[in-house]
Amino acid sequence: MTARAVKSVTPFDFRADFGPQPEEAAGDVARVSFTGAEIAGLIAQVRAETLADVARVKAETESERLAAAAAELAQALEEIGQVMRLIETSQFHAATEARLRSLIDGAAARIVHGQGDLFAAIGHAPIRKEDRT
């Protein structure tokens, strides 16, 4: 048996095949850095844009609600007009016809001047004509 002398030993990088593999170091090319003032500016910009979007959506929603209420009021006024035309073509006692006209005129006036319940949802009650100065 012959034996040879070991002249050098090289280290072996032992790692288990089942464990996590080491990640390769990423270059600094993808690194982004911001100063505190830049981050504060970006936060303020995002906040302002978000508030503007929320205000826009709220205004659109309110506009749609008011348009629907206005359409309902227009329909109510049209129906009041139809009732008035029916009263004119019917044969009522003069006192009854006057009373019906008075009731219908009062309802139409409340719808036109008071705008029904348009502002109840947003917490603003309309000012009655008598209370205006």
Classify residue 111: in a domain, yes or no.
yes
The arithmetic mean of pLDDT across residues 79-84, rounded, is: 83
Q: Do 69 and 118 contact (CB within 8 A), yes or no?
A: yes
Q: Does residue 102 belong to any structural domain of this protein?
A: yes
This prediction has a pTM of 0.46
In the predicted structure, residue 127 carries a pLDDT above the cut 60: no
Residue 126 covered by a domain = yes
**Residue 9 domain flag:** no
Mean pLDDT of 80-90: 81
- Has residue 57 been placed in a domain? yes
98 in a domain, yes or no? yes
Determine the pLDDT at residue 12: 73
- Nearest alpha-carbon partner for 115 in 133, 101, 96, 129: 129
Residue 69: domain span: 36-131
**Residue 50 located in a structural domain:** yes
Does residue 95 carry a pLDDT above 60?
A: yes
- Cα(32)–Cα(39) distance, rounded to whole angstroms? 12
CA-to-CA distance for 61 and 55, rounded, in angstroms? Answer: 10
Q: Are 62 and 122 within 8 A, CB to CB?
A: yes
Do 66 and 100 contact (CB within 8 A), yes or no?
no
15, part of any domain = no
Domains contained in the chain, number: 1
